[in-house]
Structure 1
């Protein structure tokens, strides 16, 4: 039979439905409910944040913390940093019940949580410790800009936010991740050799390939090529190694390497720089109006550090409204990385199986509008269909397979 006829004999739709059928019944309902609930949490988290910020302003707590800070030093920057410490501790405490529900209780309800509450709290304490270092620096920089450039501070503020984002991106794999995960070298063997070969083909640093003990926190699978410049490193979650086959690991790593090779960190950062600019512009224009309408807050103006909750209130609303745009930006990059991964790993069936595994907590078959507005990754159905189309187009004599039922 001619090759063209062989290609035509592979039925993309039938192959796609075979994989989609692996997640069905209660498991499919559970996945859909979890994901749809997560979408609602975006809205409710914004509501909770707005209420907390409003309460801090209306109660006079924010103004009191500013007076407390200024009573201890005459230096504006130091007073701002002292306020930031109080603000971080207070807002974290007020948000804690919601954080416990969304980050622990709900995850446990859907059988995604692996750690006990005590260990989860320890991780939250680590995150708080990082915030107590970073938030004072960020607020001191932002309010210094507001005082020095009151008319166009939003431009400089957006620039500062972008700089802090890039610093965080660079620091994540080498300074932040090790605080939450035990990192160990991937052992020598065929799998490591396979990943190294893929990395070297695309000039990705692969001297070290780390395994993070994500299993102590969650049942999710993941991997990444993270960092910037000298901090770039390949990291695999131990769940990926224990719950998937070597071909599936290769499929995932091909995708993650695609982000690096295609420069998605830099391209996405450019998109988010524009988003930051728009957000800071709205915040700069709306916050003075909000403060003027509420004199009981005892906030002198935008340059008053006590205005922090008001600034964050407006920013929260803007970020929430911009969720579909943010999702589209990220989803576009993810789709490109999918295509790169298929070309690199050449494992369409393994990639389809990974899509099913990820659909344990991502809705597998959303409607097109739902996927466009709310998905920051292509849906499982989209990914599987693209993988099967790639298989038909690139694999000579592509054969239909009967995927096995997941047991992990």
Structure 2
């Protein structure tokens, strides 16, 4: 029998993508990189417009006409700013999140459906964001010297609470989650969940195809709210049991290795650094925006200035955040290979994700922008695992990815 060659097998998997599919994925991916820059330009424009209107200064002055009401001012200004910012960025969001996805065949959702969900999401984010900003401004007033350290901790608390509440309250607003019916798919996922210590009593399939045609699954929530959720796009794209085990095994790796808490820990450090830099940069950016009627960083009317600085720092932090998540994704792949032992199933699924993530970027591009290892690198690691752990049954080559009827869930 011919010795199994991981490099050759990886090349065969990649060859299942047509040149047209690969070119389309590259164009989409490179465009996504440019969106980071253009998104920041939009942030600059929105901050400039809001500052020039003087609306936030007027609201602050009116509320405090007779006496100081810092908490009320912070909350109302944050509400108005968040709502106005959403309205101003709506055309950009529609292009980025709907029109562009439609052009690349990654969504079949009508614009009305997208807009309705965007509006609901905006209401939630505006209220939650206003509460968070109110807390941050209270810290700026009371712990002026080290507010940035306290603010990072409060931000982390909001994130953790969101992770706990989201599967129970937020996600059901946008999608319908139904328990996976009895059958081979549920049996395979339940068995894998028990093996990996993941909750096995909350296995769901949701109508993710309502928003996106992307092939995906997830384990969301924390502690008692954690659940396994598979998008119906997986089965519409013909996922077989090997794919299901490979993909869900990856998601279970995130849960078993508490990757989300690692992310929160790193975000505490990054947000503390970001808030510290914001404190130092605020006077300069306020002057550049011409915000003459805005006070120091404790003035909620200066929220556009603060938001713009954080947007700029977010762009600079892109490689750091990408490297962090890429590392965790690689660990989840390894977890799947160890516990699901489906290198071909995982590879077959990864090929299907290449439609929105160019499979073979340069090392520099992957480092700067990719929040997952490239499809080529992920498949190569899966094939190396196969060569090491399945030497007897490893054929020399990769099966073709063809359309199949999905298994009955």
TM-score where L is the length of structure 2: 0.94
Question: Structure 1 residue 144 and structure 2 residue 138: aligned?
Answer: yes
Partner of 2:395: 399
CA distance in 1, matches of 2:213, 2:291: 48
Deviation at 1:405, TM superposition (A): 3.7
Question: Structure 1 residue 353 and structure 2 residue 357: aligned?
Answer: no
CA distance in 2, matches of 1:73, 1:121: 40
Partner of 2:314: 319
CA distance in 2, matches of 1:327, 1:215: 26
Is 1:60–1:297's contact at 8 Å kept on the other side of the alignment? no
Show CA shifts across 1:306-346 (max 9, x none).
01111111111001101001000000000010011011111
CA distance in 2, matches of 1:391, 1:33: 31
Partner of 2:260: 265
Aligned-partner SS, 1:23: coil
CA distance in 2, matches of 1:64, 1:51: 20
Change (3 A) 1:394 1:284: same
Show CA shifts across 1:279-311 (max 9, x none).
011001111333356665301211111011111
2:119 alignment partner, one of 93, 102, 125:
125
CA distance in 1, matches of 2:311, 2:58: 23
Listed as ranges, the gaps of 5+ residues in structure 2 are 405-409
Deviation at 1:356, TM superposition (A): 0.6
Partner of 2:370: 375
Is 1:54–1:313's contact at 8 Å kept on the other side of the alignment? no
CA distance in 2, matches of 1:346, 1:28: 28
Show CA shifts across 1:99-158 (max 9, x none).
111011101000111211111111001111102320221111011111111111111111
How does 1:168-179 map onto structure 2 within 5 Å? 168-179=162-173
How does 1:150-161 map onto structure 2 within 5 Å? 150-161=144-155
Structure 1 segments (4+ residues) deviating >6 Å: none
Partner of 1:213: 207
Aligned-partner SS, 1:343: helix
Aligned-partner SS, 2:358: coil
Listed as ranges, the gaps of 5+ residues in structure 1 are 1-5
CA distance in 2, matches of 1:359, 1:292: 45
Is 2:209–2:233's contact at 8 Å kept on the other side of the alignment? yes
CA distance in 2, matches of 1:296, 1:382: 48
Show CA shifts across 1:227-275 (max 9, x none).
1111111111111133211210110011001111112111121111111
Question: Structure 1 residue 166 and structure 2 residue 165: aligned?
Answer: no
1:281 alignment partner, one of 276, 281, 288:
276
Question: Structure 1 residue 254 and structure 2 residue 258: aligned?
Answer: no
Partner of 2:189: 195
Aligned residues: 402
CA distance in 2, matches of 1:189, 1:296: 62
Question: Structure 1 residue 93 and structure 2 residue 87: aligned?
Answer: yes
CA distance in 2, matches of 1:290, 1:42: 20
Aligned-partner SS, 2:315: helix
Partner of 1:3: none
Deviation at 1:67, TM superposition (A): 2.8
Show CA shifts across 1:144-184 (max 9, x none).
11111111111111111111111112222111111110111
Is 2:329–2:372's contact at 8 Å kept on the other side of the alignment? yes
2:58 alignment partner, one of 56, 64, 73:
64
Change (3 A) 1:396 1:292: closer
Partner of 2:45: 51
CA distance in 2, matches of 1:60, 1:71: 16
How does 1:286-365 map onto structure 2 within 5 Å? 286-291=281-286, 296-365=291-360
TM-score where L is the length of structure 1: 0.94
Which stretch shifts more, 284-293 or 8-17? 284-293
